[in-house]
Amino acid sequence: MGEFAEGMRTSLDDVETVERACDRFRAAFGALRKRIGLRIVGQEAVVDQSLIALFAGGHVLLEGVPGLGKTLLVRTLADSLGLDFNRIQFTPDLMPADVTGTTIVVEDGLGGRAFQFREGPIFSNIVLADEINRATPKSQSAMLEAMQERSVSVGAETRRLPDPFLVLATQNPIEQEGTFPLPEAQLDRFLLKITVPYAIRRELAEIIHRTTVPGEVDVTPVLDAEDVLAGRSLARRMVIADSVKDYAIRLVLATHPGGEFEIPEFRHYIRIGASPRAAQALVSTAKVVALMDGRYAASIDDVRRVALPALRHRLVRTFEAEADGVDADEIVRGVLERVPADADHPEDGPPAGTIFAGETR
């Protein structure tokens, strides 16, 4: 493997090299999507958004009721990439050292003793943080440095995590007993929050067919770490116009209560708006969307397509919003409807339609 990386690591000096690099990326993205589809039935939007986060270099929070294939998706992604994979089952008795690792005393062959660091499961390319909201805040905090800095501090030493490093966490939205809501600081470190929907009739029939017959689908890697890093590098170098970046910025500022771009209809529904990481998420993921579509520059439509998963977990609603049954998705859709594409023409709002595959407003 690494064949895609070879073509994507070229300098973008002329139109032809740009086209070749983008074509290779699109082929790699499509091959990865197809390989995941060998195990995962349907869920096209969830798969695409997870892959967008992978190539944008950010972490993913998957939210859905039990049995929708969240864990299977993460495991299949790891198998399709041929990367190191570890699963951490978050429970109330999980300790930070169970995540990061700990220093132990070992004996050498001469009877002497020495301290040795034993790595925890966080030292892996892909980490599944299963039911992350079941762990106590103390254990959840063990993920903060790893997710932001890609490193772990144990004692006086700071140890780098492998590259690429991706955390995919799952949580159940309906159970409250025995769970600890993720703090805003940790939620903000997830590039995207992806809502996993129920399977439809046709998909459920296919799931039953695949899982009630002998044999298991073997998923072999189509990309490796070198390919992923090359794809990330290419995505970061893609063009995005100042007007598109300004649109992403105005979307974020529209969520700030009392700010210059505040939307009056949502003044009493938002307690804390999206952080600067939200603008970074909109821009970085929009670049990947453009690449996967075979285009060479991110557009305002690309920003709109990733707005829901990039913003929904970064808004802190007021009690009034909860009482009125206004969720974060409804607020984000309202922001998209009211923030004009052109800053100089407020009457030009975004057209109604698809925000992302499988998510409409």
SS3 for 57? coil
> What pLDDT score was predicted for residue 6?
60
Q: How confident is the model at residue 2 (pLDDT cuts 50, 70, 90)?
A: low
- Which pLDDT score is estimated for 175? 61
Domains of the chain, by residue range, sit at: 1-91+124-137+161-237, 239-361
Q: How far apart are CA 12 and CA 291, in angstroms?
A: 14
Domain 239-361, CATH homologous superfamily name and number: Magnesium chelatase subunit I, C-Terminal domain (1.10.8.80)
d(Cα 352, Cα 8) in Å, to the nearest integer?
Answer: 35
173 vs 332: CA distance, rounded Å: 19
Structure tokens at 283: 């821009």
pLDDT at residue number 7: 56
DSSP-assigned letter for residue 60 = E
- Per-residue model confidence (pLDDT) at position 296: 82
pLDDT band at residue 347, thresholds of 50, 70 and 90? very low
* pLDDT for 274 beyond 50: yes
Distance between CA atoms of residues 312 and 356, nearest Å: 13
Whether 280 shows a pLDDT value over 90: the answer reads yes
- At 13 the pLDDT is 59
| Total-model pTM | 0.84
Is there a contact between 158 and 119 (Cβ–Cβ < 8 Å)? no
Range 1-91+124-137+161-237: architecture per CATH: 3-Layer(aba) Sandwich (3.40)
**pLDDT on residue 103:** 74
- pLDDT of the residue at 12: 53
pLDDT at 54 over 50: yes
Is the preceding peptide bond at 164 cis, omega within 30 degrees of 0?
Answer: yes
CA-to-CA dists, residue 284 to 221, 238, 241, 306, 307, angstroms? 25, 9, 13, 10, 12
Cα gap 78→127, rounded to integer Å: 9
Residue 346 has pLDDT above 50, yes or no: no
The chain-wide mean pLDDT, for the chain, equals 82
Residues contacting residue 34 through CB under 8 Å, at least 6 positions apart: none
- Give the separation between CA 182 and CA 171, rounded to whole angstroms: 10
Residue 351 tokens read as 């057209």
Question: Which carries the bigger pLDDT value, residue 62 or residue 356?
Answer: 62
With beta carbons less than 8 A apart as the criterion, state whether 125 and 162 touch.
yes
Average pLDDT score over residue span 317-340: 89
The mean per-residue pLDDT over the stretch 124-151 comes to: 86
